[in-house]
Structure 1
């Protein structure tokens, strides 16, 4: 399965929330897409609820099934609460950090900036969106990319104090990962325990 590039509003309506950010369509049509979307009142099974939560996490962070499974296995073998570690690992992906720093206005835009070699980690260009950023590492915009309109527009008026685990220096356009975020600080509405239950079957 390739990465989803279809209508974002359709997916947001499927989950009943703006997982890709504010969505005008969702406020008008807050019911699932399709011919029977407004009249469907079928009871979802326990498995269906768990699967839906996993799909929501995958769409939110733009991760494919194999990558997601690998992240889960890594979280499962680590010390601590598996679900929390899984969400923290998703947060530490380079494309997500670029998005959180406001360099890209969506995760898809941030992923493209990374892939097109506009982002540096500790001064070296990194073009792997799934690269796992470690505390203390510095994420910046490549020197020749700093004047790009798309980056300037995204950073304009962005509130960098939203995320206490990140630090931003506007003049040099670099950010720093101060520490791994606590689960309570991560704003995504994901019930990670359901994902753990799904994979544990």
Structure 2
């Protein structure tokens, strides 16, 4: 399946924020991409352009393709509650994102690779589908053989205490997806209401 493999910094420069991970290069060159950089005259974006830009930002942030994103939005609109908040909750419940949030991988791209290469288990069963949607109570862990692999465990980092919807124990190499997060707990700078308006046209 197609996946963006180009320069990550270029994407971050488009949006002016480190949406694909490390943003250290933005301090060196935060100008939008293009041969004229900051000197290019840019028109103010219209309503549709702003909505489309926000959708693209969400897709790049979570590493989701258009068809997957549309399906996720359709599921979010079916559920009770605010559609935009449901969308963020479903994106956060993806297995690759949860592996990243737990600190098992340094980035969502690395988490996706761990899942695809069958290093991750859900409820003691190997799952190699990065888009697998977790349910509250699901237990995520490293496969026994993978837990002894220093190239994997060397990338482990402490879980951010702000992510209170997940738990992770480095001792047992297991964690729990406790519940879907509340929108205010998710730090990503995404205006989900603009995405809802875009798909509502």
TM bracket (short chain): over 0.9
Unaligned runs of 5+ residues in structure 1 are none
Q: Does 1:167 align with 2:174?
A: no
Task: State the shift of 1:164 in Å.
Answer: 0.5
Contact 1:120 1:126 in 2 (8 A): yes
Contact 1:160 1:168 in 2 (8 A): no
Distance in 1 (CA, whole Å) between partners of 2:13 and 2:88 is 22
- Structure 2 equivalent of residue 114 of structure 1: 115
- Please give the per-residue CA displacement for 1:47-94, whole angstroms capped at 9, x wherever unaligned: 111101000000000000000000011111111100000010000000
Instruction: Give the paired residue count.
Output: 200
* 1:162 to 1:146, Cα distance in 2 relative to 1, 3 A: same
- The alignment's TM-score, normalised by the length of structure 2, stands at 0.96
Distance in 2 (CA, whole Å) between partners of 1:197 and 1:39 is 32
Unaligned runs of 5+ residues in structure 2 are none
- The alignment's TM-score, normalised by the length of structure 1, stands at 0.96
Distance in 1 (CA, whole Å) between partners of 2:16 and 2:96 is 24
Contact 1:31 1:38 in 2 (8 A): yes
- Structure 2 equivalent of residue 83 of structure 1: 84
Distance in 2 (CA, whole Å) between partners of 1:116 and 1:60 is 21
Distance in 2 (CA, whole Å) between partners of 1:24 and 1:133 is 32
Distance in 1 (CA, whole Å) between partners of 2:189 and 2:149 is 32
Contact 1:160 1:167 in 2 (8 A): no
* 1:147 to 1:116, Cα distance in 2 relative to 1, 3 A: same
Distance in 1 (CA, whole Å) between partners of 2:147 and 2:167 is 18
Distance in 2 (CA, whole Å) between partners of 1:137 and 1:24 is 34
Distance in 1 (CA, whole Å) between partners of 2:62 and 2:191 is 14
